[in-house]
Amino acid sequence: MAFCIDCPSCGPRPVTEYRYGGEVPRVPAACLDEAARDVDRVWMRTNPEGPTTERWYHELGCRRWLTIVRDTRTDEISSIVR
């Protein structure tokens, strides 16, 4: 199912113009070891069902990174930050 992302610079564009940059991870505050925090931040993904914060790169448009909050069940986007 294709959806559109409303780019702050270019307006609504199909998701095919973007490159998925991944989920923005939440690193546990209790993790004191800096190396373990980096591993969690880079490699551990939760793949949640529901709202999640993600990074998208507008490759075929303004070439900027966007941070969006998207519901993974419906692809509904609730916020976009450049």
Where are the chain's structural domains?
A: 4-25+42-81
| Class at the top of the CATH hierarchy for domain 4-25+42-81 | alpha beta
What pTM was estimated for this model as a whole? 0.76
Degrees, nearest 5: CA angle 59-1-60: 10
- How far is it, in rounded angstroms, from Cα 11 to Cα 44? 32
| Per-residue pLDDT tens listing for the chain (82 residues) | 578 999 999 999 999 999 999 888 776 667 677 787 777 667 767 777 899 999 999 999 999 999 999 998 998 999 988 7
